[in-house]
Structure formats: structure tokens, C-alpha cells
Amino acid sequence: MSKVYKQQDLDLIQPIINEAIKKMIIFIDKNGLKDDGTCVMGEGLYIDFLPKGKRKPIRKEIVGQPFQGNNYRALKYAQEFLSSKDITTYYSPGRMD
């Protein structure tokens, strides 16, 4: 079963999300990933988030694409790190623009 995060949860895990982003940037540098210029919008890692006063959760992006194109490996690396910290995320390939 997936976890639904509220704002107070998001506030608590934000330092871990920031660490995942830093690790992802290091991963990109070490692996020579580059901007391929593909125009994709919405690629990233998402959580199920319940906004205040709402009954149904939405998917909220917490880690966006670091550059255009070739993001899958970098985002999966960040997703694995977040998973190791018990943070449930979903990868979205986004859509072509």
C-alpha cells in the first residue's frame, strides 16, 4: 500500500529529499550524463500528497528532471536512495512537449 504524505510529513522529509537531489547531481557528474535536448515536461519523482482541506491525494513532484533528456538513470538513482529511507516515490517519464 502506498503512503500518502501530508504537509507536516513533507516538511520532515525535505532534508532527505535535498540529500537525494545532491546525490543525483553527483551521480550525473560521475557517469557523464548529458543534456540530450529532448523536450520532456513533467519527468521526475512524485509522491502521493494530501493537500490541506482535500479528501483525495494528488501526485506531487518532489524531484524534478535535472536537465532535458537522459534523466531516467539519475532519477532512478535518487529514487533508490529515497526508498532506502522509507520514502515511497513514483517515477514519471513525463510527456513530450
Q: Please write the tens of the pLDDT for every residue from 21-69.
A: 999 989 888 887 766 666 677 889 999 999 999 999 999 999 988 766 6
Supply the pLDDT for residue 32.
Answer: 76
Q: Dig out the grid coordinates for 8 from the structure.
A: 507536516
Q: Dig out the grid coordinates for 64 from the structure.
A: 524534478
User: In 3D, which of 67, 60, 84 has the Cα closest to residue 25?
Assistant: 67
Phi/psi of residue 93, each to 5°? -75, -5
Supply the pLDDT for residue 66.
Answer: 74
| pTM of the model as a whole | 0.87
Q: Dig out the grid coordinates for 47 from the structure.
A: 509522491
Q: Dig out the grid coordinates for 3 from the structure.
A: 503512503
